[in-house]
Structure 1
């Protein structure tokens, strides 16, 4: 059983009680699923909403970033994100109709090959309501050899390598908890059970700052998915070995003093091939769990 231990007294996570994680997953048939996990008492889990036909049969993604979703006018909505299929990175996008099916033609722009050896992928898009501040899009990936890589993507869609650092072989999962113009922060768990925050400056060289939050008990989770909420984050932690998941309210990042409140086991089975976060367009997302 992979339930992380304990709550702490410092800080308050009461504001997280009404917060929601928009949890995404991939079906064995290549569809996308949205399910809301609400931090009520008891935990509320909404019905699954499925979009069929996102990925071709036999072409499930080995890795996938978070996906944005925008409600549509002429159709039901529009989704966009990154996916690695058979060692190739693609920018994937699709519109959906009112029945929940992906509408052709779908965007499947090839970025490049050589992604077979990567185990973690995420992108961060940040845009200030102030239009004079540049839009920023960063992609992070951890290779099986433990190297953390970063790329930046220009508004025109051009990828540029922006650094690589070793030392991350023990990471199992990362979840975004903070983003702004100058840094991104992830919550990460390791094979040894430790829980860290990883703050990565975005206006300087790739020099992450790791801060331990807990020294143990988090090793059983294969996926962390976080959603920002008031004073902190609500985190879904998924144990793929038991097809189970747990909900945590995590306060503002403060090392070992970070408040963590276990909200309990989430009802239902969590047996999908992949899990991710559904997000809104960048200028409407606020993640302030650090800084």
Structure 2
């Protein structure tokens, strides 16, 4: 997402070296310079009479909003449909947010879960059973060293995040669906990962993950193929520097609507 509130999408292909494909930019979705955090953006391409719908959550200042808009059949933004709905305040210290739905279509959806990380090192989880009411709030502390993280696994019994720290370590954080919430942390690498302010992932094969690490200070992005996570035995192959400039303030993952998107199984 640009400083001007535009939605962009860059398709990075995991060749060695990586290749890049730019896609259309959807301009002026948000006020200039206001969005500082975004969860994954969902795309529903099958809304009758339209070119599809995008929806997700963003944080502007200390307030979270649900965000959405439709495309026209010619692929341009249908301006009257661009909108925000206030979720609530108290998000001023949030450093990460994402929403995940476990759904293997055609079976019914099983779980929709929201996660946040705050600057004081608190991870919070909510269950979203209705689409509008978040309940069963659970928290775990001790993650103040985490710089950012990305969801890499969605299962019936746990979700897992890949996280880097300011000291350079790389960890998996498995969060079982049990209550109270008790994350299970495993070291993957001990050093050299501190440069990335954003981690964006996609599923690779059945068990793996393609990871894009973005260094906002230099505008550089580096691509990695990550095997099924298994602590320090995890195989990580560097695929090289991505031939694109990553100069935007906010990055996030594009996903298909729940039920169409493949479940992640990186750990």
Q: Same fold (TM over 0.5)?
A: yes
**CA separation in 1, counterparts of 2:119 and 2:32?**
27
Cα offset, 1:99, TM superposition: 4.4
Distance in 1, matches of 2:99 and 2:60, equals: 16
Give 1:120-199 correspondences, 5 Å limit.
Answer: 120-129=96-105, 131=107, 134-199=109-174
Match of 1:71 among 45, 51, 57: 45
Alignment pair present for 1:238 and 2:214? yes
Length-normalised TM-score, structure 1: 0.86
User: Which residue, out of 45, 59, 62, partners 1:84?
Assistant: 59
> In the alignment, is the contact (CA less than 8 A) between 1:28 and 1:273 conserved in 2?
yes
- Whether the 8 Å contact between 1:92 and 1:107 is mirrored in structure 2 is yes
- Within 2, Cα distance between the matches of 1:104 and 1:164? 38
Q: Deviations over 1:78-104 (max 9, x none)?
A: 011111112111111111222432532
Residue among 177, 180, 204 paired with 1:229: 204
Structure 1, gaps ≥5 residues long: 1-25
| Residue of 108, 114, 120 corresponding to 2:84 | 108
The number of equivalent residue pairs is: 263
Checking the alignment, whether the CA contact within 8 Å between 1:150 and 1:162 is kept in structure 2 is yes
Assess if the C-alpha contact under 8 Å between 1:34 and 1:48 holds in 2.
Answer: yes
Within 1, Cα distance between the matches of 2:64 and 2:136?
14
Tell me, yes or no, if structure 1 residue 57 matches structure 2 residue 21. no
Deviations 1:16-65 (A, max 9, x none): xxxxxxxxxx012111111100012331100232111211234x312110
Structure 1 residues 53 and 102, CA, compared in 2 at 3 Å: closer, same or farther? farther
Deviation per CA, 1:199-221: give whole Å up to 9, x if none.
10124321110000000000011
Distance 1:193 1:236 in 2: 16
What's the TM-score, normalizing by structure 2?
0.93
In the alignment, which residue of structure 2 is the partner of 1:4?
none
Aligned equivalents of 1:79 and 1:177: distance in 2?
Answer: 22
**How far apart in 2 are the matches of 1:107 and 1:90?**
9
Q: Compared with structure 1, are the counterparts of its residues 282 and 168 closer, same or farther at alpha carbon in structure 2 (3 Å cutoff)?
A: same
1:18 paired residue number: none
Q: 1:287 and 2:240 equivalent?
A: no
1:138-176 C-alpha deviation (Å, 9 max, x unpaired): 111111111111112122411114211110111111111
More contact order relative to length (CA 8 Å, sep ≥ 6): 1
Please state whether the residue corresponding to 1:104 is helix, strand or coil: helix
2:2 alignment counterpart:
27
